[in-house]
Structure formats: structure tokens, C-alpha cells
């Protein structure tokens, strides 16, 4: 169990670099097994989820080492196609190994993935797409056995732009016979990053970032090299923390376009924001205004992953904010904990209404999930007195040395292991 100790009331001040993206790193690590080769990945964050992905690689017979921000993988020794439940349950992204394994071995045996409990998280779109590509899939309880002597390219229409399904199809399609066209594909920056890595591997992929992605084959290179993009949700979290606590921060090495919807609402709340193409400066006097109505949506809409941290930033914002969560059915698990700080939030189904309060008072909280835990940290920084968050390892799944990063900006926070 980890304990986050936060003494709120200090303004944040200073500059920091933003870590590499967790959600870009994980599918790229899975993709490294598509063909026997070495991969060098730079700017990979040191996180529990990354560690779990590397352990899956080693279990499959690959070598995988992380030294600082660099990860070196050699997948030439891959000797298995089954991932045990104990590894699958550690994170959601383990499901992306399905597409990679079937591309390399023609079969994959795994169980339903773990990850944050955000309501039902089916993988029907992943399975349906692989079936359309010729895979034979048996489901037995939580176990999945997926087989295809040779996948064939297909035209796949996704009824919803699922990030994970788009990634799984892209990986499986690399070694399929013929061209695969994904229509209704997710357009997230992490999909563009995956395309970049696959190209460096020798795959012919185009269209990522638009709704149509085309994969037409793979001529393996000797080595794939890739630099992981900055984490737009961590950037959004630090921006929300500065907005709530007040102060001036500069986020370096980020692409402001990738979290522009979050910056838009922080600006509407009263923060001044100056963006260049590689940095964002945010100024806040800590006296924010409610932003009215906002809804989460697939990229380029407002990201569901930033919803809890923006909510936390607006707990003291004068007036009303109404959030509609359209992506996950249960992404308000942080709300009862935020109320314990004195927040005025009511939830009805997918809609949360927040009325800004004068003051929040630190108390003992329990982290519910990754972004919910991050929201509690943001709220704690804007509360009077001490907040202690009891966390069963949720936040460190996605935030690298977050206590140190916030301390470097002047926050009074430390993490007790």
C-alpha cells in the first residue's frame, strides 16, 4: 500500500518535462513481437504497467530490459503464445498482445485483461475484427483461444472508434495476406505513434490519425527504433494541478495540440495559457470559474482520462460545471472521495454536476483507480491542511515519480511506500 501525503495551499511554480506516454508505450511493446527483431524504444516511462508488459515479453521467451527511459527488446527468442492470467490481469493493455501473437505465431491463448474498473469493458470489437480476418476464436469463461493458420486482410468497420480494437487490428494485419482497411478507426495520438513504430519495423501502414487506417504488409527491418511521445494525460494532470492550486508552470516537451481540449476548458475557467509547438505555460490565480457543460468524447474530443482531473481542478471554481461522461459507464468513482474534502458534486447516471465551494479541507482518502487517484492528488493540492491518499498502486501505474515532479514545482507532497 502506498500513501500520498499532501499539504495543500501552496502555489505551483516552475518548469518540468512531461514523461513519455504510458498508453503509447504499451501497444508498441506488444507490437515488438510481430516479427523476430530488436527494438530500441526511447523515453519509455518507468511505471508498473510498463514493467508488467516487459514481464509478458520475458514470459514469451523474448529479452526485454529497461535502463532509465530506454527499453531494449529482442523478440527473436519468442517461444510461446500463451499468457497466464496472473500476467493478463495486471493491466488492460495486455489484450493487445492478442493481435501481436496471432500475427507472429498464428495463435494466442490468453484471458480477459485487467485494468481500471470503469464499468463494463468488453472486447467484442477486437474479437469480431479478428474473426473477420479469418481467426477462429473460442471463448471459455474468461479464457480466449485465438487461432488462424494465415490471417487475411479485410475491410473492417468499427461501430465505435475503440483505441484498443484499432491497435489490435493494426498489429494482426501486419502479417495478414492482403490489405486491411479499418474504417471508423480511433484517431488518438497513440494510434499515430503506433503507426510510426510499425513503419520503423518495416510495416506498410498509413492513415493513422484519421478515421481510416490501411495496413498492407510487412518487410521486416533488422531493428526498429522509436521515441515515445509525451504523455498528454500527465500533461493535462499537471496543468489541472496548477490551475487548482494557482501559480505558473511550464510544461516542456509536450505537444499542446494533443491536449488542446483540456487547455481550452482551463482557459475558460480563467487560466492564461501560452502554447508554443513544444511547450505550454499556464498561469492561474487559483480563483477559477465553472465552465458550464462539457462531454467526454473520442479524440479529438475531450479525453475521458482527463475528466477526473479536470473535475478536481474545478471543485472550487465559482459557479457550475456539468460533465457528461460518454466513454465509460463508471468513471465517477472518485466522486465520493472528493466529497469528503467538502466538494459539492452530484451524479446522476453519466452526468456529474459540480458547484464550486469556497474551501476544501484535507482528509484521508482512498484512491479508486488511476485517474481517480490523480484527481485526488489535484484536489489535495488545492485543499487546506493535509490530505493522505491510501493507494493500492493505482497512481504509480501511470504517473512516473509524480511526487518528485510535483515537488520540483513547489508542491508539498511525498509518497510513502
Residues that bind ligand EPZ in the complex, under the rule CB under 6 A: 23, 26, 92-93, 116, 120-126, 160, 162-165, 186, 304-305, 327-328, 370-371, 398
Measured between alpha carbons, how far is residue 354 from residues 272, 304, 315, 343 in Å?
Answer: 22, 17, 7, 8
d(CA 24, CA 49): 12
User: CB of 304: closest distance to ligand EPZ in angstroms?
Assistant: 5
d(CA 257, CA 293): 21
User: CB of 229: closest distance to ligand EPZ in angstroms?
Assistant: 12
Bridge-based pairing state of the strands 2-7 and 412-416: antiparallel
The CA angle 258-263-267, to the nearest 5 degrees, is: 160
- Distance of alpha carbon 270 from its chain centroid, rounded? 27
Q: b/e for 5-26, b at 16 or more Cβ within 10 A? A: bbbbbbbbeeebebbbbbbbbb
- Closer to ligand EPZ by CB, 146 or 360: give it: 146
CB 43 within 8 A of CB 258: no
CB 282 within 8 A of CB 242: yes
Bridge-based pairing state of the strands 136-140 and 70-74: unpaired
- Closer to ligand EPZ by CB, 28 or 215: give it: 28
- Closer to ligand EPZ by CB, 98 or 249: give it: 98
User: CB of 33: closest distance to ligand EPZ in angstroms?
Assistant: 17
DSSP one-letter code for 59? H
Q: Which residue do the cell numbers 501497444 mark?
A: 27
- Closer to ligand EPZ by CB, 124 or 344: give it: 124
Q: b/e for 140-175, b at 16 or more Cβ within 10 A? A: eeeebebbbeebebbebebeebbbbbbbbbbbbbbb
Measured between alpha carbons, how far is residue 71 from residues 35, 46, 51, 79, 257 in Å?
Answer: 17, 10, 10, 20, 27
The closest residue (CB) to ligand EPZ is 164
The three three-digit cell numbers of residue 399, written as one number: 504517473
226 in active site: no
d(CA 4, CA 8): 12
- Closer to ligand EPZ by CB, 6 or 327: give it: 327
Q: How many CB atoms lie within 10 A of CB 269?
A: 24
User: CB of 307: closest distance to ligand EPZ in angstroms?
Assistant: 9
User: CB of 17: closest distance to ligand EPZ in angstroms?
Assistant: 20
CB 137 within 8 A of CB 127: yes
User: CB of 205: closest distance to ligand EPZ in angstroms?
Assistant: 18
- Closer to ligand EPZ by CB, 37 or 118: give it: 118
User: CB of 13: closest distance to ligand EPZ in angstroms?
Assistant: 28
Identified catalytic residue from 116, 174, 226, 271: 116
- Closer to ligand EPZ by CB, 29 or 62: give it: 29
Among all residues, which ones are annotated catalytic? 116
Amino acid at each position: 500500500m502506498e500513501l500520498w501525503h499532501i499539504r495543500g495551499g501552496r502555489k505551483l511554480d516552475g518548469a518540468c518535462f512531461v514523461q513519455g506516454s504510458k498508453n503509447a508505450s504499451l501497444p508498441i511493446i506488444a507490437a515488438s513481437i510481430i516479427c523476430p527483431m530488436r527494438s530500441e524504444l526511447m523515453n519509455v516511462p518507468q511505471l508498473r504497467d510498463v514493467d508488467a508488459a516487459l514481464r509478458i515479453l520475458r514470459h514469451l521467451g523474448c529479452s526485454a530490459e529497461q535502463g532509465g527511459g530506454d527499453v531494449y527488446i529482442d523478440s527473436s527468442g519468442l517461444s510461446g503464445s500463451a499468457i497466464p492470467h496472473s500476467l493478463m490481469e495486471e493491466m488492460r493493455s495486455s489484450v493487445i498482445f492478442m493481435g501481436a501473437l496471432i500475427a507472429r505465431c498464428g495463435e494466442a491463448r490468453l484471458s480477459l485483461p485487467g485494468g481500471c474498473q470503469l464499468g463494463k469493458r468488453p472486447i467484442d470489437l477486437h474479437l469480431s475484427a479478428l474473426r473477420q480476418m479469418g481467426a477462429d476464436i473460442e471463448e471459455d469463461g474468461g479464457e480466449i483461444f485465438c487461432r488462424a493458420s494465415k490471417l487475411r486482410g479485410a475491410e473492417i468497420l468499427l461501430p465505435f472508434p475503440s483505441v484498443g480494437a484499432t491497435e489490435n487490428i493494426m498489429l494482426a494485419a501486419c502479417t495478414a495476406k492482403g490489405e486491411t482497411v479499418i474504417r471508423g478507426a480511433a484517431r488518438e495520438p497513440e494510434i499515430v505513434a503506433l503507426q510510426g513504430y510499425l513503419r520503423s519495423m518495416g510495416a506498410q501502414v498509413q492513415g493513422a490519425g484519421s478515421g481510416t487506417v490501411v495496413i498492407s504488409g510487412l518487410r521486416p527491418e533488422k531493428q526498429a527504433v522509436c521515441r515515445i511521445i509525451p504523455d498528454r494525460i500527465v500533461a493535462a494532470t499537471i496543468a489541472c494541478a496548477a490551475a487548482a492550486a494557482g501559480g505558473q508552470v511550464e510544461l516542456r516537451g509536450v505537444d499542446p495540440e494533443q491536449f488542446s481540449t483540456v487547455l481550452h476548458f482551463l482557459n475558460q475557467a480563467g487560466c492564461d495559457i501560452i502554447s508554443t509547438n513544444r511547450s505550454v505555460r499556464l498561469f492561474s490565480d487559483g480563483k477559477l470559474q465553472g465552465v458550464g457543460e462539457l462531454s467526454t468524447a473520442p479524440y479529438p474530443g475531450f479525453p475521458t482520462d482527463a475528466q477526473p482531473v479536470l473535475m478536481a481542478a474545478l471543485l472550487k471554481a465559482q459557479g457550475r460545471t456539468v460533465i457528461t461522461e460518454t466513454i465509460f459507464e463508471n468513471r465517477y468513482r472518485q466522486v465520493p472521495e472528493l466529497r469528503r474534502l467538502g466538494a459539492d458534486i452530484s451524479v446522476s447516471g453519466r452526468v456529474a454536476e459540480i458547484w464550486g465551494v469556497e474551501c476544501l479541507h484535507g482528509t484521508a482518502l482512498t484512491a479508486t483507480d488511476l485517474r481517480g487517484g490523480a484527481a485526488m492528488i489535484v484536489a489535495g493540492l488545492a485543499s487546506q491542511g493535509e490530505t493522505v491518499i491510501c493507494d493500492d498502486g493505482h497512481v504509480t501505474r501511470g504517473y512516473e515519480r509524480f511526487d518528485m515532479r510535483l515537488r520540483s514545482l513547489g508542491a508539498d507532497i511525498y509518497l510513502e511506500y
